[in-house]
A and B are shown apart, each in its own frame.
Chain A
């Protein structure tokens, strides 16, 4: 019997396993592997200009890179031949049906973090309101995770108090021309912005700007939309491979965990092979669920044969503000700019805190955007060409709390039914547009986009933590109420969802849960 069985190899699962090193750890994982990655050597724009044609690399022989035109994915990062595998099999094996919520579920080795933007922010005590854990308790776990994954950013700018101190921070990612101008304008009008509750600073990213633990620094190649596993961008699969190579865990990919049952001495974990042909039962003293907030909830409900309960579900709603710098219209595109976030922004508004990331406009194909412009398509091509150099995008996340309208429910056929409602605060967004204009950009409220619920891809809150949990809730140490051996190690445990991207905290909480268990499993 294993000491512990971890389900899933995303950020939560990997840091659960990492914290359990030294014990006999089994990791059960769907574990879908990336296909051979497109052979793109160098910068996207340099390669494309000099030829050869990139239809095979960017669209694929099987035309995967066109599928999104017919069935839009939750993110453009999930649609190309080199990245679409991240969602492979999920619709068939772990479906979510909904009219109102578009779930992105990953069965890949490394999970959704194969495509993540790598924004990493420590939660403060304000963010942790409702959590039975304090920022001070989490600090050593953030430290350990941060040290392991490598983080870049600025430790001394206006976001320091919001994002916390990182003991080893690499230099921030280089700012593009437009973003540097925004940053400079902010610096010049800092007092005015701060009075309005807005703070801006360099992005905090799990993206290396200097080599770290054998991984190379970010090379500004603009391939994030087409290739997974850039060594500069942290991927849990990197840590997983290290642990496998060091014989620290037994990794069993190819299994969909369907349910568990507790025994006197531990847990029996039922799993189905990905091809649906075989099933197997694995035994361990402890079970750590890290299948993602949605799939972990499915496993828990299925283990109770419960088709009636509605579990809460949260995702950060998003507003995307296009910001256009008129002075850059018609200038050459910065083809070696960063495609990852360059700045972060914090907005304090009516007692809540919103958080956003500012991106340049390189990387994504123009064809994916042209039909969104209110122009005939040929004009749209010309418009995209001359305006892209002037465009930056602010992706602003709203905080979310658990609400009755937003839930998951298991159906007898194994599918989850999801429902979600959210309405943007358009008055506030209009006000923010006015503020962004003071950064020297044009911001039109009519152009703000609101991706459908689910598009935040920050899923959380299905098995929330509390000091005194009830059914389908978890104790502060991650243990699921009503069980003796089952723990939750992903976003499921969040009792509230602040606007700061959640994954760093998923990793820190998973490491904390596992570290405590490790002692108990002696």
Chain B
């Protein structure tokens, strides 16, 4: 779910999945956010939007850390080089994409807050 939220068009490589599982075993991701992740997965909810809403409201949290683990596991792999490193000149596209990025942020925030409220996600987190 977390990989899909970040890279929706890519299948998750086996090595990344294995790394994520190993990280889960090693760092004992906290239970509270584990319940949240399970709930989001079960109901097919937008994890990126919920993370964003939570982060803007309360700062980085257990869900953010899961995303950070996934990001790091991906960034070190050559297949993801293009996602993280700008290799070609694309200034026009970058500027043209800025309004879209702002709109997307507003949309994701609204959606995250809506999901928090309608699914009473706060009650899972006790925040």
Contacts and interface: CB of A to CB of B under 8 A. Distances in A.
Contacts, number: 142
A376 B105 contact: yes
Given A330-B91, A330-B93, A376-B49, A384 B73 contact: no
A55 B104 contact: no
A53 B15 contact: yes
Chain A CB within 10 A, most for which of B27, B65, B79, B84: B84
B97 A382 contact: yes
Interface stretch (A61-69, A253-261, A413-421, A432-440): A61-69
A441 B111 CA distance: 34
Contact of A376 (B52, B72, B76, B91): B52
A282 interface: no
Contact of A332 (B78, B89, B101): B89
Contacts of B11: none
Given A55-B19, A376-B49, A377-B48, A382 B89 contact: no
Given A66-B23, A329-B91, A371 B55 contact: yes
B127 interface: no
B71 A370 contact: yes
A461 B90 CA distance: 50
A278 interface: no
B122 interface: no
Interface secondary structure of A, over-half rule: helix
Contacts of B60: 371
Interface residues of B, number: 50
Interface secondary structure of B, over-half rule: helix
B105 A379 contact: yes
B44 interface: no
Contacts of B15: 53, 55
Interface string B1-45: 000011100000001000100110011000000000000000000
Interface string A259-301: 0000000000000000000000000000000000000000000
B78 A377 contact: no
A332 B88 contact: yes
A21 B68 CA distance: 49
Interchain residue pairs A-B with the least CB separation, the first 8: A330-B94, A330-B91, A367-B71, A51-B78, A386-B94, A376-B108, A376-B52, A367-B72
